[in-house]
Amino acid sequence: MDRLNGSARLMMVSDLDFTMVDHEDPENLSLLRFNALWEAYYRQDSLLIYSTGRSPTIYKQLRNEKPLLTPDITIMSVGTEIAYGESMVPDYGWEQCLSLNWDRNIVTQETAKFPQLIPQSDTEQRPHKVSFFLEKTYSLEVIKGLSERLDKRGLDVKIIYSNGTALDVLPKGAGKGQALAYLLKKFEANGRIPLNSLACGDSGNDAELFTIPDVYGVMVSNAQEELLQWHAENAKNNPNIIHSTERCASGIIQAIGKFSLGPNVSPRDIRDFRKFRVNIFSPGHEVVKFYLFYERWRHAEVEKSDQLMQHLKSSFYSLGTFVHPSGTEQPMNSCTDMMERLYGDKQGKQYCVWLDRVSTAQIGSDAWLVKFDKWESTDEICLILVSCEKRQCCLTTVLLATKQAEEAFTWMHIHQTWLDGLEAKDQTIWFL
């Protein structure tokens, strides 16, 4: 939370599975659209919060499977755990709040009396969350009976049933909505209430997010019936909660536009930046735009022309240096020569590039230092003759200078360093 000096321009709070992440989109197109939008226009002065039912273990698994951005805050285990930053520092104050009038042993004793409750995996059993699978046919009967038993034992609990399959027993003060309210109180205490907040969800355990005052809400088009029913019964006349017409992350982007919260055209939706005028001139947008071009170039999705090559060469400082993550140095003008040779080398292949954690600092009247993680993902044929994803990532630092006569940047210097465990096995295939 200390990354920003003041209030966030936008605080985005999103569920993951089938909200931010579309598991029916194997190419992750909607998620990549969101990534480009966030890193180009929002990362510098806004907050990204994930609010997921997943435990830390399977949340990290999802991060390894999907091109998810690094959030500023992660709310996990249906609002019973809060962690900050990339290192995921726990909020022990929140855990202490949840421990009041909570006895996990009593919960496990009482739930054991319902054979319809099938325990979820050990990773999903958390200090303040006991989780089961439950068929929808038995849900009303079991929830009613369990609530009565726990009430007789003197426990104040919350029972959440979502997706027609999952039942979670939590402390009364837990849940995604309460976790968000707790964070907002912390922001208020520090004089940093976000200027705007947007909550995004698709299932029953997201409903609480839409009950927090002064927070916009979007139910993505693929939202579960249980959430739509909750909306019809509790919030159908609230103009600040909408049901989008697009799935998952695309629905989130749609809501940004609907509520006029900021730019809502993802750079990935712009096919030719020379023809589409963007009224934002920033170093963050510059690096996102360049690496989108880089991906499309290697897919041969842009035309290879002398004019385009000349424009590319004019973007690199001829006396600048590119430091490869292996440590070797080469002049910047050799980068354009290599780009020319790589044209179309990923055509017809599953290959994508995305940036994460873009940060910018002005270090002179016309000079900017930009840092970010540059990711590449390629599907390859493994030994067992199936497609498997190969990922590489490096920390990238770019020195940019503004061109005097136009709204454009010159790339003066590029330095890259491998992130641990994410090096390319064949480092000769990594470029820029």
For residue range 79-119, list pLDDT tens digits in order: 999 999 999 999 999 999 999 989 999 999 999 999 999 99
- Answer yes or no: is pLDDT of 296 > 70: yes
Distance CA 187, CA 197 (A): 12
Q: Encoding tokens for residue 47?
A: 């907050």
Q: What is the pLDDT of residues 146-189, one digit of tens each?
A: 999 999 999 989 999 988 899 999 999 999 999 999 999 999 99
Quick one: average pLDDT of 185-206? 96
Exposure string for 294-332, b = 16+ CB within 10 A, e = fewer: bbebbbeebeeeeeeeeebbebbbeebebbbbeeeeeeb
Is 1's pLDDT higher than 80? no
Higher-pLDDT residue of 381 and 212 is: 212
Tell me the C-alpha distance between 210 and 227, whole Å. 10
pLDDT of residue 336 exceeding 90, the answer is no
Mean residue pLDDT of the chain comes to: 93
In the DSSP assignment, the letter for residue 82 is E
pLDDT at residue 333 in the model = 84
- Work out the percent of the chain whose per-residue pLDDT is above 90: 83
| Confidence category of residue 194, pLDDT binned at 50, 70, 90 | very high
Q: DSSP characters for 308-352?
A: HHHHHHHHEEEEEEEE-TTS-EEETHHHHHHHHHHTTTTTTS-EE
Q: What per-residue confidence (pLDDT) applies to 4?
A: 83
Give the per-residue pLDDT at 156. Answer: 87
Residue 404 has pLDDT above 80, yes or no: no
> Where residue 380 falls among pLDDT bands split at 50, 70, 90?
low
What does the pLDDT read at residue 271? 86
The per-residue b/e assignment along 33-45, b for 16 or more CB within 10 angstroms, e otherwise, is: bbbbbbbbbbbbb
Statement: residue 381 has pLDDT above 60: no
Over range 375-386, report the average pLDDT: 68
Cβ atoms < 10 Å from Cβ of 242: 17
Q: Tell me if residue 88 falls in helix, strand or coil.
A: coil
Q: What is the pLDDT of residue 428?
A: 76
The pLDDT of residue 281 is 83
Q: Kindly provide the residue ranges of all beta strands, DSSP E only, lying in 35-137, ordered along the sequence.
A: 47-51, 73-76, 81-84, 89-90, 118-119, 130-133
Predicted pLDDT of residue 388: 66
| The token pair that represents 360 in the structure block | 């910018």
How many other C-beta atoms can be found within 10 angstroms of the C-beta atom of residue 27? 11
Task: List the single range of 2-6, 60-64, 298-302, 339-343 with lowest mean pLDDT.
Answer: 2-6
pLDDT of the residue at 385:
47
Q: What is the pTM of this model?
A: 0.93
**153-162, 206-215, 400-409 — which is least confidently predicted?**
400-409
List the single range of 32-36, 166-170, 191-195, 269-273 with lowest mean pLDDT: 269-273
